[in-house]
Structure 1
Amino acid sequence: MKKLLLAGVTIAMMATPAIAQTYKFAVVPKAMNNPFFDVARDGCLKRAKELGNVECIYKGPIEHEPATQAQIIQDFITQKVDGLAISVADVASMTKSIEAATAAGIPVITFDADAPGSKRIAYIGTNNKDFGLALGKQLLQLRPEGGKYAMVSGGPGAKNLAERVDGVREALKGSKWVEVQGSPTFCNDDSTLAVQQMSDLRTATPDLAAIVPVGGWPMFAPEGFKAFVNKNKKDIDSGKLTLVVADTLKMQLELLRDGYSNALTGQRPFEMGEKSMDTLLAIKKGQKVPEVIYTGLDLVTKDNVAQLLK
């Protein structure tokens, strides 16, 4: 409070409250047709609303297209957003985009998929090597007797997916599981293609004993996934074919509950969206943030799926 002396009269004047700085943070997924990123978007929007002085702008390629993702980031640089959170579709191209944003004074963090050699300030998401290890260990627990297995992956340039593939292989090393030739396939985050690749793998190797998608893509096309399972239901019910799938979106939990997979290993995309807003805001305030923020995993089978659905 300030006091003003006017004609012998003291007048109390209230100080004008400072207007809070507002920020526009852009969240750029690999692909907007992937429901996994819808959950990250929801976390981002929720947290931005709670913070009050933050706007979450969600935009990425419709499909998995690294060149389009790079162009979208360039557009955000031109618009001079206050911060970027990127799920890296291709490490090489995104490293250049992150460098361009940093040169323009825009702080960049990554979520879900990282580019650790870039100028990004922090990564938020899953420890992807541990993720792959967990998938492999789930398969070992379900089928210790082993057999032939194959993996389905997304984009060949995505470091996070390569780490998951390595983790599955490491978990199964020394066991009786043998990876078939042509594994992993790459669906480029296309759900319909992921289901087709599962069918192709089964056709190419009739005695294939397990399929491990390292992302939830085939289940993101639930009707196609159901059709694949129904076609192979006799082998799945008898234990000749085991399906261990990554991610735990609601539709996936429902499919597991209804007997359409054997196990799921889940990430926490909602938290990734929330923590992206918190981290970018901390950076703008000049605060030091951890370089790596892991959001954890959830292991789900028929025994605990009802609990997660609650």
Structure 2
Amino acid sequence: MEETMRKLLLAGIAVAMMATPAFAANYRFVIVPKAMNNPFFDFARDGCLKRAKELGNIECVYKGPVEHEPATQAQIIQDFVTQKVDGLAISVADVAAMTKSIEAATAAGIPVITFDADAPGSKRIAYIGTNNKEFGVALGKQLVKMRPDGGKYAMVSGGPGAKNLAERVDGVREALKGSKWTEVAGSPTFCNDDPALAVQQMTDMRTATPDLAAIVPIGGWPMFAPEGFKAFASRNKKDIDSGKFTLVVADTLKMQLELLRDGYANALVGQRPFEMGEKAMDTLLAIKKGEKVPEIVYTGLDLVTKDNVAQMLK
């Protein structure tokens, strides 16, 4: 009788121990940005790390190309497939290349989701991020609101193979269709997520078209080189202050908010990368638990002008 009770007691302890978080399955989830030199993705990394720590049984690994290089991104993903990680969250730099990488990961039994930039025709399970068409529309509407008189405008984009950026370009054009704004030849330029190149392209466009009335970078790249952006804006400050030249820029990182506050831009439309990183961990964990997850999770936008920039900086 005593031996039977002892066995039951030990069995009960074992069951209780297995139920504790310390004995929960541990997972290694990887978040792969387009480029690690893009500070936008630092916030996705921070959201990933924060949520992983809160969940307790997840390791968040953050690794991508140093610069915007789709081939390097594909190789990094292949390395993680070889390592048999438990899940991948990818910001897609090039749809064609990543569709193949996602297929390889899926074939190896690794669940894949995308964040920030999608590959909807791939075998990814879910997308977390911005509704990029609406993002572009918001940028265009902000320009029309500030300058209904119109004029010539140009856009700066990142990588030509990124679907999310193409959708933003389409959104800006849709918002400006029927307005008094006309897009100049050669727009958009493609900076490949290089901040210094983005600033140079803005300078070149203003030189080539002296009566250019607005530039709309559909990503925050030129502002990610704050001193270069400030130098460009300073050369055009008289026209910015008089309303002859308008800068409506995507994203709302701290340095961008400070540049807006100090009068070097007119408006920002921001995404929520920190939330993307958090939700990526939640989604991958739910998939590993066998739960059904939404295919699309939009994280929203923030509109910032001189009227609310101080509040945003808080």
- TM exceeding 0.5: yes
Counterparts of 2:220 and 2:128, CA distance in 1: 19
In structure 2, the partner of 1:172 is: 176
Number of residue pairs matched by the alignment: 307
Q: Is the 8 A contact 1:5 1:11 kept in 2?
A: no
**2:80 corresponding residue in structure 1:** 76
Structure 1: 5+ residue stretches without partners? none
Matched, 1:5 2:19: no
**Per-residue CA distance 1:6-49 (angstroms, 9 max, x = gap):** 39999843422111100000000000000000000000000000
Q: Distance in 2 between matches of 1:76 and 1:277?
A: 17
The one of 252, 255, 261 aligned to 1:257: 261
* 1:117 corresponding residue in structure 2: 121
User: Could you give the per-residue CA deviations for residues 256-304 of structure 1, whole angstroms, max 9, x where no partner exists?
Assistant: 1111100000000000000000000000000000000000000000000
Matching residue within 161, 166, 190 for 1:162: 166
Is the alpha carbon distance of 1:284 and 1:204 closer, same or farther for their aligned partners in structure 2, counting shifts above 3 Å? same
Deviates further, 4-13 or 139-148? 4-13
TM-score, L = length of structure 1: 0.97
User: 1:15 and 2:19 equivalent?
Assistant: no
Q: How does 1:75-154 map to 2 (within 5 A)?
A: 75-154=79-158
The alpha-carbon distance between structure 1 residues 67 and 5, as it changes in their structure 2 partners (threshold 3 A), is: same
- Whole-Å separation in 2 of the counterparts to 1:69 and 1:200: 30
Change (3 A) 1:5 1:111: same
Tell me the distance in 2 between the aligned counterparts of 1:205 and 1:21.
59
In 1, distance between residues paired with 2:206 and 2:251? 22
- Secondary structure of 1:15's aligned partner: helix
Q: TM-score, length-normalised on structure 2?
A: 0.96
| Amino acid corresponding to residue 6 of structure 1 in structure 2 | E
Residues 226 and 103 (structure 1 numbering): CA distance in 2 closer, same or farther, change over 3 Å?
Answer: same
Aligned Cα root-mean-square deviation (Å): 1.3
Q: Which residue of 1 aligns with 2:229?
A: 225
SS of alignment partner, residue 55 of structure 1: strand
Tell me whether 1:300 sits opposite 2:304 in the alignment: yes
Q: Which amino acid aligns with 2:272?
A: R
Q: Secondary structure at the match of 2:13?
A: coil
For residue 26 of structure 1, the aligned residue among 22, 25, 30 is 30
Structure 2: gaps spanning 5 or more residues: none
- Give the aligned partner of residue 40 of structure 2: 36
Alpha-carbon distance in structure 2 between the residues aligned to 1:281 and 1:159 = 26
Report the Cα distance in structure 2 between the residues aligned to 1:36 and 1:63, rounded to whole angstroms.
13
Q: Structure 1, residues 112-141: CA drift from partner, whole Å, max 9, x if none?
A: 000000000000000000000000000000
Structure 1 residues 62 and 6: CA distance shift in structure 2, 3 A: same
Once the two structures are TM-superposed, the CA of residue 209 in structure 1 deviates from its matched residue by 0.1
Which of 49, 60, 67 is 1:63 aligned to? 67
Cα 1:53–1:239 change in 2 (3 A) is same
Going from structure 1 to structure 2, the CA distance change for 1:6 and 1:196 (only over 3 Å counts) comes to same
CA gap of 1:237–1:10, structure 2 versus 1, over 3 A, is closer
The structure with more helix, counted as a fraction of residues: 2
Match of 1:248 among 252, 266, 290: 252
Task: State how far apart, in whole Å, the 2-side matches of 1:170 and 1:113 are.
Answer: 20
Q: Indicate how the Cα distance of structure 1 residues 117 and 7 shifts in structure 2: closer, same or farther if over 3 A, else same.
A: closer
Q: By how many angstroms is 1:249 displaced?
A: 0.5
Amino acid at match of 2:13: A
